[in-house]
Amino acid sequence: MDYNQEQKRDRKNLLWAALAVLALLNVVLLYFFYQERQENETKDTIIAAKTEEVLSTKIKFDSISVQLDAKIAEIQQLGGSVDSLISLKAQLEKDMQSLKDMNTYSARKYEDKIKNYVAILAQKDTEIVRLREELGIVTAQNEELSEKLSGLETERESLQSERQALSDSMSTFAAQNRELSEKVSLASALRAESISVNSITSKGKERDGGNYRARRIDKLKVTFKLADNPIARQNQKEIYLRVLDPNGAVLSDMATGSGAFLHNGREMIYSSKELINFTNSRQEVSIMYGRGGLPLKDGKYAVELYSEGFRIGQGEFTVK
């Protein structure tokens, strides 16, 4: 009788140990979920700040572009050379085009560019004054300049409207960027191919084919290959195996390695799991599940494989 009581205590200790492991896993999963949410909030803040910087730089470039056009037209009228200004305008358009790539945007780099453009414009103002004096048309050019300044005021109002439109488009871009991040995450998910389920007898004999007699199944061996995925990170990954009986119930035994994991915010039971080093080499992986001495029902069984929050493959076998 003492021996039976000791066995009961051992089983109770194992049960408490398993519950403690499950509780620890839940804490770890909640911690990683919180960390990911904090990182997403930080990214949104950075995107918003960078968007404002890009908008400010775009407005400054637009203003410089208008001034360049005015100076090119005026110097041409005065008979001066505008080759350097035309080259400068081409460079300005390239810089404005590069603003569309927020990943390479550097506020310091663009501030230096703006200072250089402003300095060149100031030099051209001096050249324009000299040309006017040489041609004796300073008064006439001043009147023309007044008209151009009026036009620039109209351009300024137009730029303000463009700024609002650009702000709206940048908000759309931020939303698209988040959507793209989700698509990249989905594209980086593993994919299991060529899934097969073999049975192993109590004597270690392995059978394949997918149709097995219940009395000859001591363990199940699920084998598959991981498809090539160049954007998936090559690191350690946990792969969870779920074996579902004909009624949809998950086969599990906490004493032999079964447990729970989170999928789409919902806790799911797994039958067995395997920790692998993903090498993106179409590597073959096998996961074993021992049925724990319980007989398997006749019927069709399903197997499901999960990793990093995604279901990466599924297969089936039959017990008769």
Domain boundaries, the chain: 39-187, 190-319
pLDDT at 101 over 50: yes
% of residues, the chain, pLDDT over 70 = 78
Sequence-separated (6 or more) residues with CB below 8 Å from residue 201: 207, 216, 217, 218
Q: How far apart are CA 137 and CA 115, in angstroms?
A: 30
Q: From residue 32, how far is each of 47, 241, 317 by CA, in Å? A: 22, 21, 35
Q: Note the pLDDT of residue 236.
A: 95
Q: Note the pLDDT of residue 180.
A: 43
Residues 12-54 pLDDT 10s: 777 787 777 777 777 777 666 666 766 665 655 656 556 777 7
Mean pLDDT of the chain: 81
User: Of 56, 64, 89, 53, nearest to 155 (Cα)?
Assistant: 64
Contact status, residue 120 vs residue 92, Cβ threshold 8 Å: no
* pTM greater than the 0.75 cutoff: no
Q: What is the architecture of the domain spanning 190-319?
A: Sandwich (2.60)
Q: Note the pLDDT of residue 251.
A: 94
Question: How close are the terminal C-alpha atoms of the chain, in Å?
Answer: 40
The mean pLDDT value for 118-135 works out to 84
Per-residue pLDDT band at 195 (split at 50, 70, 90)? very high
Residues 267-301 pLDDT 10s: 999 999 999 999 999 999 999 998 766 679 999 99
